[in-house]
């Protein structure tokens, strides 16, 4: 029987195993190294959700780079809210840099759009996106994500940094919400 994680009244079932995650990040980092190794990139890790993905990814790189953090938060439970905490004024350090935004998941795309705008407004030289997960069918407009870990269906997921009301971030695998049986 597959393992079930319970948080509050909800049940989650395993979607992506940690072994598969490791393999995928290895491959992503190889591709990213080819693209980025000579550009002294600045990795902009979006907190809180991308803290594990960001940590695993940047430790694969053996070239010179900077790592900075930005806080963006748009979810309350499973309900999407307006993005709070993306403040263009905080991003002065992206000026003239080759920026790679490191996100846990792109859902509607609203958060990443706000961050891209803020990077542009602060004079980033180039901007790329690395997202661990992507839900393309939830995008509200067409989006070009440079590096994607896994494309998933538009269901709510937790684990590997992603949370439900603050819980589940520590899980090493990705779990998806289990539909409630009638
Ligand atoms: P977007 O602005 O709709 O693209 O939402 C992106 C942000 O919402 C991500 O950075 C996550 O922090 C959060 N988010 C979106 N989908 C999920 C999910 O399935 N589980 C946990 N957090 C999510
Ligand atoms: Mg996030």
Decide: pTM greater than 0.85: yes
| Distance in angstroms (rounded) separating the CA atoms of residues 77 and 164 | 6
Q: Write down the pLDDT at residue 177.
A: 96
The torsion angles phi and psi of 47, rounded to 5 degrees, stand at -85, 155
Residues 4-27: what's their mean pLDDT? 96
Q: Which of 159, 131, 10, 152 is nearest to 72 (CA)?
A: 131
User: Furthest-apart CA pair in the chain: how many Å?
Assistant: 55
How far apart are alpha carbons 167 and 157 in whole angstroms?
Answer: 11
Q: Is 173 a catalytic residue?
A: no
Residue 54 CA to residue 69 CA, distance in Å, equals 10
> Which of 109, 129, 162 should be mutated for ligand 1, with most atoms under 8 A from CB?
162
User: Tens digit of pLDDT for each residue in 65-99?
Assistant: 999 999 886 656 666 666 655 655 679 999 999 99
Say yes or no to pLDDT of 111 above 60: yes
Summarize pLDDT for 41-58 with one digit per residue, the tens: 999 999 999 999 999 999
Contact 42, 70 (CB under 8 A): no
Residue 31 CA, ligand 2 centroid: distance in Å: 22
Question: How many angstroms separate the alpha carbon of residue 104 from the centre of ligand 2?
Answer: 5
Cβ neighbours for 68, distance < 8 A, ≥ 6 positions apart: 42, 43, 44, 45, 93, 94
């Amino acid at each position: 029987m597959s393992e079930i994680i319970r948080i509050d009244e909800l049940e989650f079932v395993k979607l992506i195993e940690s072994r598969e995650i490791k393999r995928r990040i290895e491959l992503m980092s190889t591709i990213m190294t080819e693209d980025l190794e000579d550009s002294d990139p600045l990795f902009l890790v979006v907190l809180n959700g991308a803290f594990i993905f960001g940590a695993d990814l940047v430790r694969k790189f053996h070239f010179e780079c900077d790592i900075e953090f930005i806080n963006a938060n748009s979810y309350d439970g499973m309900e999407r809210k307006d993005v709070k905490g993306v403040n263009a004024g905080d991003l002065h350090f992206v000026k003239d840099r080759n920026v790679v935004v490191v996100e846990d998941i792109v859902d509607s795309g609203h958060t990443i759009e706000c961050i891209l705008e803020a990077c542009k407004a602060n004079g980033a030289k180039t901007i790329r996106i690395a997202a661990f997960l992507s839900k393309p069918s939830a995008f509200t407009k067409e989006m070009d994500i440079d590096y994607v870990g896994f494309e998933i269906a538009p269901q709510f997921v937790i684990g590997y940094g992603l949370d439900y009301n603050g819980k589940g971030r520590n899980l090493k695998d990705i779990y998806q919400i289990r539909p409630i049986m009638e």
